[in-house]
Amino acid sequence: MNCAIRQVTAADVDAVTRLEAKCFPPHEAPGREVFARRIAAFGDSFFVAEQDGEILGMINGCVTDQPRILDAMYQDESLHRPEGAYQTVFGLAVDPDFRRQGIASQLMRYFIQLAKERGKAGLVLTCSLDKIPFYERYGYENEGCFKTDSDGDWYRMVLRF
């Protein structure tokens, strides 16, 4: 499926909040207030995939000077460094009814290309064990498992240009 990818707007806050709630467990899904702050702070690093006016997927993350994500970054938008070296990926989400149609790949390719165009050194994200093969297809390297403040084990993935 080929979707239009565009930068998020403040008017999308309810739609992206609903999408996140459909894709992640409650303890991992930020609420409307967090998304509103993210859109305001780093909307230029927040994109949606839509078809016929419906948001089917999204990708977002702040920019940082270091090749890792700190837990605090998810809640504290002041840690966003627009001129930083690394684009983070806080979330890549696709509506469960539209998965396995290439939307996540389209969003990831778009984000990678944008980071290159912006002169970033690479991208960094964390993911669960089952998601590692997806990210490795785009050149991300698994830098190992670590514990976070949230439940479970997470893996640090870095794509360097």
Q: Hey, what are 127's tokens?
A: 């993911």
Judge whether 141 lies within some domain.
no
Give the whole-angstrom CA distance, residue 39 versus residue 63. Answer: 13
CATH number of domain containing 85: 3.40.630.30
Q: In which band, very low, low, confident or very high, does the pLDDT at 149 lie, cut at 50, 70 and 90?
A: low
Judge whether 16 lies within some domain.
yes
Nearest 5°: the CA angle 26, 21, 38 is: 95
Judge whether 129 lies within some domain.
no
Give the whole-angstrom CA distance, residue 84 versus residue 27. Answer: 29
Judge whether 158 lies within some domain.
no
| Three-state secondary structure call for residue 156 | strand
The pLDDT value recorded for residue 26 is 79
Q: Are 3 and 76 in contact (CB under 8 A)?
A: no
Query: Which of the pair, 128 or 104, is modelled with greater confidence?
Result: 104
- 89 pLDDT higher than 70: yes
- 151 pLDDT higher than 80: no
Judge whether 25 lies within some domain.
yes
Judge whether 73 lies within some domain.
yes
Mean pLDDT computed over every residue of the chain? 92
Mean pLDDT of 54-68: 95
Quick one: how far is CA 140 from the chain centroid? 14
> Can you say whether residue 159 is alpha, beta or left, with left for phi > 0 and alpha for psi between -120 and 50 degrees?
beta
Q: How many domains does one find in the chain? A: 1
Domain with 14 in it? 2-124
Per-residue pLDDT tens digits for 25-50: 877 778 899 999 999 999 999 999 99
Cβ burial of 50 (10 Å; 0-12, 13-18, 19+) is middle
